[in-house]
Structure 1
Amino acid sequence: MKAKSFAVIGLGQFGMTLARELANADYDVLAIDDKDENIQEIAETVTYAVRADVREPDILKSLGVQNVDVAIVAVAENMEASITATMQAKDLGVPCVVSKAMNTLHGRILEKIGADQVIYPERSMGLRVARNLTSNGFEDIFELSSEFSMAEFRIPADWAEKSLAELKIREKYKINVVAVKLGDEVNVNIDPAEKLKEGCVLVAAGKNQDLNRVKRTI
């Protein structure tokens, strides 16, 4: 399922950022929060913003949350609101309900009441920062699973003016280059015969062990 519409429930820093990014990517976004100032801040960015207390029975149904593809419950700091909103969204038949958890116990509760995905933003960001700080050679790294990651790395000087086909990156390192970045330009329609410019950054996906082999060469 390719999501086209989202409900973001809870507009703290995480929910606000998420709602803005989804709206800026041209998705339909319904933003819900119980604070007027948060609704006013996001109102001109998203498709629809409404002030509501998600602990009220059937409130999400009255707001049309059942019509979205994905509901993100981002009110983790209020466990009652988090659990109630997650249960309501699942009862309404939302295809995918993603709920933010404060801790492991909270996450287990959310899983038991039916959340399709439980996220721990602070933990994930902490892990990512730690990996970035210890991953010399990579500009950035993002874990896709326990075995696979996506990494950005600046090409070595001796790769400049050579093509991906010449370098045989897939054959040598068993990774897939998914984009080439040069300054603010990002090219995802890669021509394997095109010469790489000095200082460009490759975005590659692959097994962690294979990415680590690349890291040792750059």
Structure 2
Amino acid sequence: MKHKTIAVIGLGQFGGTVAKMLASMDHEVLGVDIDPEVVQKISPFITHAIVADTTDEEAIKALALSQFDMVIVAIGGNLQANLMTAMLLKELDAPKIVAKAENNIQGKMLHKIGVDQVIYPEYDMALRLVQFLTRDHVMDYLQLSKNISLIEIKMPSFMVGTCLKDSNLREKYNLNAVGIRRGEDLEVPPNPITILGEDDKLLVIGNNSDLDALTV
């Protein structure tokens, strides 16, 4: 894995967790927050931590963020600070900007500014929770687009003792298996002649309506 230089602006619950996780994966992480106490608490866990007001043009210029591979704007409740920071980063030619949004309106504004990717942590977590609560066999869930999702499920009973080649998953449900999890091991792409066990997990991609038919 190529190690990257990543700046995380806003070190609250979400931003702080992201920064620590990136640092644990040996990426070079710069954490930035306006609160000195927050910066002091996170400094032992990441590469660098700096107190700065990223809505101030001179302050954000001094961080030289255009030299980083990616900048994540994780500022929470302060909408103005979130948008202003993203706008200044765009003007400073940051190579990749990922910004957190709390609702669709904020997301649309960030897109208009020109950020490369908008994320909705609260919405995504709520969506995953709904999938767990309403689909008995779903172990994990990732929405790839409005209509397409990737899910990890317990091995369907009709596939146990067969192999993917003979399971007719695509013919029956119009779905594609992209991986098999066996204990701690993940086989991607899966061997089409591997005999599937009751304790195996299946990674499947397809239309949400077809996934619903498989997991009811």
* TM tier relative to shorter chain: 0.7 to 0.9
Q: What residue is the counterpart of 1:83 in the other structure?
A: 83
TM-score (norm 2): 0.85
Q: What residue is the counterpart of 2:136 in the other structure?
A: 136
Give the letter aligned to residue 28 of structure 1.
Answer: E
Q: What residue is the counterpart of 1:186 in the other structure?
A: 186
The alignment-based identity, stated in percent, is: 38
How many aligned positions are there? 215
Q: Is the 8 A contact 2:3 2:26 kept in 1?
A: no
The alignment's C-alpha RMSD in Å is 2.4
**Shift in Å at residue 209 of structure 1?**
2.2
Q: Is the 8 A contact 2:12 2:75 kept in 1?
A: yes
Give the letter aligned to residue 115 of structure 1.
Answer: V
Q: What residue is the counterpart of 1:156 in the other structure?
A: 156
Q: What residue is the counterpart of 2:95 in the other structure?
A: 95
Q: Is the 8 A contact 1:177 1:205 kept in 2?
A: yes
Return 197-206 or 101-110, whichever deviates more.
Answer: 101-110
Q: Is the 8 A contact 2:73 2:82 kept in 1?
A: yes
Q: What residue is the counterpart of 1:28 in the other structure?
A: 28
Q: Secondary structure at the match of 2:137?
A: coil
**Shift in Å at residue 3 of structure 1?**
9.2
Q: Secondary structure at the match of 2:118?
A: strand
Cα deviation 1:97-151 (Å, max 9, x = unaligned): 2222233443343333332333332222223322332223322322111110011
CA distance in 2, matches of 1:196, 1:40: 50
CA distance in 1, matches of 2:104, 2:148: 23
Query: Runs of 5+ in structure 2 lacking a partner?
Result: none
CA distance in 2, matches of 1:44, 1:196: 45
CA distance in 2, matches of 1:170, 1:47: 47
Q: Is the 8 A contact 1:3 1:69 kept in 2?
A: no
Give the letter aligned to residue 76 of structure 2.
Answer: A
Q: Secondary structure at the match of 2:57?
A: coil
**Shift in Å at residue 72 of structure 1?**
1.3
